[in-house]
Structure formats: C-alpha cells, structure tokens
C-alpha cells in the first residue's frame, strides 16, 4: 500500500512489506530454537515456585501433608520381665513376712494364695469350688447386718448401709476376709459386687454366707471356715491366715487348703497326676506385698502332712 501526496499538508509516504515474521508460538516445532541453560533454569525456578505455593496453600488450610517418605517398619525388641523362680513353701512364708515387716501398715496383713488352675471356667464340668475349716483359723471375723447378733457371735466388722457405702468409696481397701449378709441386704450389696466379687467376698447362698442365722455363720467363719471358687480367669484367690501367725501355723493352713483344692479337682480332667495339668502356678503374697511362686513338691508335702495329722487325730 502506498500513500500519495495530496493537495494538503505534505505526507511522507510509508511502505510495509507484504509479509511479516511469524510469532514464536506460530513457529513449527522443528523450527523452534533449542533451549539453553538459561531456559532450563527458568523452568526449574517456575516449578519450585509452584511447589512452594502448593505447600503454602496446604499449610494455610490445615492440610499439611507429609512429603517425606516414611521409614521402613522396624522391630523394636521388648525387654521381657524376668520371671520369679519358684521357691520352697517355708522360704516363701519367710519372704512374705520379711517384705511385710519392711513397710509397717496400720492393719495386720492377710497371707493370700493365688492359684492358677488348668481348667476352663466356661465349662460346667470343670468348675472348681469348695470349702474348708483352717486348722488355725483365719485370724479375722466377718461382717453381718444383724448387728447385735453378729457382735455377740464375734464379728469384727458390723454395719448396714453405711458399711456398704464405705466399701464403695474406700478405693478397694477392705478390713475383712469374709462377708456374711441376710437375704434382705443382698439387693443393696449389688452396689459393691464389682469390688467384692473378684476377691471372692460376695455373699453366696450356696456357700452359706447368705443366711438369717447370722450367729451360726459368724461362728463358722471365726472357727476358720474358708470358701473358695475359681474366677473367670481360672484363678482361685483365698486368704489363709495373718502375717503374725507362726510359720508352722501358716504352713498347716496352706496344706489344708491344698488338700481341699485337690478334693475339688474336676473328674473330667485328662491328667492322672494330682497336680500336673491341674495346678499350673501357686503364688503366695501378703495383702499389700509382692507375690512369691511356690514349688509344687513343697505344697504336696504340706498337704500330706495335714492329711496325716487329720487321720491321726481321728
């Protein structure tokens, strides 16, 4: 195109080429100039800026993602607690007394037996339950709501609703080894069933601890009557005397209990031995002290000694 001079003001003619150079985006791929180091640096910088912006957005919206690769799982060795070696019954009694004397309590601790049995408590034919009279008593009485009659019979702890509340709020501390109640009080004792039940202290009509004859039940308890029964974990918990008993009296009480435990052995157990497959672990402890496993031969000797003395007395 060409502009010509008019009659008016003079205009310098300007001419344009017929074709112009194509824009960069219009160039064919093969004609695009190769990228240099500067172009690669710009592209890397752009990617870095975009990644920083993405992380900032995630952090702002509380969506911070863990971008580092998680390490491979590793096995951490767990240090096993060393198991106590079973000791002779006589040595266990001495250890219990030594441990109890190191820390003075404001009450006389009970010597307790915790026996793990090889039975299935879910099966009716393998239920273990029994009662015995300890030759040297338990050293403690029982509780009954018929206050006058219970005290006259020799009960050490007597009470009604206030005693139930004391048990409920006492943090598991109990000052008795056997609980006796009349049928009237059984619904109220449901408040503390979770405290008394695991310790074998919940009154039970089958064991004679739910009765209107409070005097007779208390006298039987004072004479050393002990009831035992396995819990849902196949363990028997029972008190067998006080820490201030002589070593020989505690040994005879424990022997009497082991003898009664053997008499209560279910008939359906396959093992023919008296202890194998039946008594898996026998542990003695005081109320607040550590436990000491006892060897089966020493328990068998104590049970045989009690049985022989019983036969001679008869």
Banded model confidence at residue 63, pLDDT cuts 50, 70, 90: low
Query: Do residues 168 and 192 make contact, with C-beta atoms less than 8 angstroms apart?
Result: yes
pLDDT at 56 over 60: yes
DSSP string, 239-276: EEEETTS-HHHHHHHHHHHHHHHHHT--TT----SSST
CA distance 301 to 294: 12
Beta strands in 91-234 (DSSP E): 110-117, 129-133, 143-144, 157-158, 225-229
Looking at mean pLDDT, say which of 63-67, 224-228, 310-314 comes out highest: 224-228
Query: Do residues 211 and 180 make contact, with C-beta atoms less than 8 angstroms apart?
Result: yes
**Which residue ranges does the chain devote to CATH 3.40.50.790?**
141-223
The pLDDT tens digits for 92-102 are 999 999 988 88
CATH topology (fold) of 141-223: Rossmann fold (3.40.50)
CATH match for 83-139+224-314 among 3.10.180.10, 3.30.190.20, 3.30.1330.20, 3.40.50.300: 3.30.190.20
CA distance 120 to 276: 15
pLDDT (mean) for 74-87 = 79
Closest C-alpha to 115, from 228, 194, 196, 272: 228
Return the bridge partners of 235, or none.
116
Place of tokens 């005693």: 163
**Which residue ranges does the chain devote to CATH 3.30.190.20?**
83-139+224-314
């Amino acid at each position: 195109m060409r502009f010509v001079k008019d009659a008016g003001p003079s205009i310098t003619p300007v001419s344009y080429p017929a074709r112009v150079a194509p824009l960069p985006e219009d160039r064919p791929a093969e004609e695009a100039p190769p990228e240099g180091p500067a172009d690669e640096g710009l592209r890397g910088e752009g990617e870095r800026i975009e990644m920083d912006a993405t992380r900032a957005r995630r952090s702002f919206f509380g969506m911070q993602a863990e971008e580092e690769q998680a390490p491979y799982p590793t096995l951490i060795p767990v240090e096993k607690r060393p198991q106590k070696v079973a000791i002779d019954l006589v040595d266990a009694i001495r250890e219990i007394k030594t441990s109890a004397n190191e820390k003075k309590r404001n009450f006389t601790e009970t010597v307790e037996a915790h026996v793990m049995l090889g039975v299935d408590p879910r099966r009716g034919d393998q239920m273990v339950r029994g009662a015995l009279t300890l030759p040297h008593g338990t050293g403690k009485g029982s509780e009954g709501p018929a206050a006058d009659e219970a005290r006259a019979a020799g009960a050490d702890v007597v009470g009604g609703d206030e005693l139930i509340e004391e048990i409920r709020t006492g943090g598991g501390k109990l000052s008795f080894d056997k609980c006796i109640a009349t049928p009237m009080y059984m619904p109220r004792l449901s408040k503390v069933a979770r405290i008394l039940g695991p310790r074998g202290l919940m009154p039970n009509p089958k064991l004679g601890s739910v009765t209107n004859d409070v005097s007779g039940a208390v006298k039987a308890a004072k004479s050393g009557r002990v009831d035992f029964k396995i819990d849902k974990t196949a363990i028997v918990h029972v008190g067998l005397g006080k820490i201030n008993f002589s070593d020989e009296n505690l040994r005879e009480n424990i022997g009497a209990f082991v003898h009664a435990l053997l008499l209560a052995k279910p008939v359906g157990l396959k093992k023919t031995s008296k202890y194998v497959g039946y008594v898996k672990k026998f542990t003695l402890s005081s109320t607040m002290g550590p436990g000491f496993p006892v060897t089966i031969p020493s328990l068998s000797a104590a049970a045989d000694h009690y049985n022989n003395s019983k036969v001679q007395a008869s």
